[in-house]
Amino acid sequence: MPESITFGTGTVQYHYKARLTDLKDIVFKEHCVIVTDSTVASLYPELESMYPCIVIPSGEEHKKLKTINIIIEQLLEYKAHRKTVLLGIGGGMITDITGFAASVYMRGMRFGFVPTTLLGMVDASIGGKNGVNFGLQKNLVGTIQQPQFILFDTDFLSTLPALEWSNGFAEIIKYGCIFDAHMFETLQKHQLEYYHYNHPVLDTLIHKCAGWKNKTIQEDEQEKGLRKLLNFGHTAGHAIETLYNLSHGQAISLGMLLACKVSEAVTGLDSEVYYQLANLLEQYKLPSALTLHPDKLMDILAMDKKRNGNEVDYIVLNKIGSASIQTIPFDVIRTAIENFPHAGNH
């Protein structure tokens, strides 16, 4: 049975421990169009025989308005209408652009997601944020609109590259940092391979992460306050991702560590937390050091959506399992960047 959760912009059905074949009970073939990328389409050629399919090139560089135009042109060719369901099957890039295209096509059509990456299952597909990048700015153009449903099929993870497993665990570790000290401690006791080969435990972990995110978004769907906590590690992380061409999980890992250094200055966070987090990230094959360039990073941060003059809303840790939103002067962030461990020095 699906789990239904109601938000301000709609009710979402969460189909946990499901299989792709369950789609036939959720959407009818004549009312559905799939959006996926070339990587997923090549791994799962059966998708193109299930429903009409729009295949776009893989890669974050295609998460832009030009791709939305391509999707809309193909929707017109398929004679899609407002009662058609647009179904995003893929990682976070696919679910982001599918939700955005669906939100603007004919002023709004129905949509659903089948995330195929761990990052998508625990974070990217959940919460109703849809959008594209613009220039150097991540997710600058977008909407907040909930999908009708999300189907979680962990069989997709069997084809997931090792890097993508680590990417997903960056966001899982984030939930532990800001909400759940017990989850953080549990992660410390295991290795990535434990979850790789133990699907029942992984299913439970995915459900728990989705629960934390949904609880936060139910209270603050439009990101006026509490939802900002989910940006822990992301303010600097997005800038690092853009500047150093890292994966999302790698960049967010470094962003979380940088946020710990900022937190030491702002909330008096125990310096031991930084080392606990660095060790945990390394345990899940994520980076804990990088030679950062303060001027270049600060130039990108200066364009951040959350900026207010010479300050920016920043998520800081009080302790593991507890975070807060504070307005931080840019010079505090710059000092943390200047003192950040260089690659090879940690």
pTM: 0.93
Catalytic residue, candidates 110, 138, 238, 261: 238
pLDDT in tens, the chain (346 residues): 899 999 998 899 999 999 999 999 999 878 899 999 999 999 999 999 999 999 999 998 999 999 999 999 999 999 999 999 999 999 999 999 999 999 999 999 999 999 999 999 999 999 999 999 998 788 889 999 999 999 999 999 999 999 999 999 999 999 999 999 999 999 999 999 999 999 899 999 999 999 999 999 999 999 888 999 999 999 999 999 989 989 999 999 999 999 999 999 999 999 999 999 999 999 999 999 999 999 999 999 888 766 777 899 999 999 999 999 999 999 999 999 999 988 765 4
Task: Tell me if 3-159 shares its fold with 162-338.
Answer: no
Catalytic residue, candidates 66, 79, 83, 107: 107
C-alpha to C-alpha distances, 333 to 50, 255, 319, 326, nearest whole angstrom: 49, 11, 19, 12
Catalytic residue, candidates 221, 234, 241, 261: 234
- 223 carries an active-site annotation: yes
pLDDT at 17: 94
- 129 carries an active-site annotation: yes
Contact in structure between 148 and 85 (CB atoms under 8 Å): yes
- 238 carries an active-site annotation: yes
Fold category of 3-159 in CATH: Rossmann fold (3.40.50)
- 199 carries an active-site annotation: no
Q: How far apart are CA 311 and CA 274, in angstroms?
A: 23
- 227 carries an active-site annotation: yes
Catalytic residue, candidates 15, 208, 248, 261: 248
pLDDT at 172: 98
Helix, strand or coil for residue 304?
coil
Domain chopping of the chain, boundaries: 3-159, 162-338
Q: How far apart are CA 63 and CA 57, in angstroms?
A: 10
pLDDT at 342: 82
Tell me which amino acid residue 26 is. I
- 231 carries an active-site annotation: yes
- 234 carries an active-site annotation: yes
pLDDT at 21: 94
| The CATH number of the domain covering residues in 162-338 | 1.20.1090.10
Q: How far apart are CA 346 and CA 342, in angstroms?
A: 7
Catalytic residue, candidates 130, 138, 171, 261: 171
pLDDT at 304: 73
User: What is the DSSP track for 59-116?
Assistant: SGGG-SHHHHHHHHHHHHHTT--TTSEEEEEESHHHHHHHHHHHHHGGG--EEEEEE-
Helix, strand or coil for residue 331?
helix
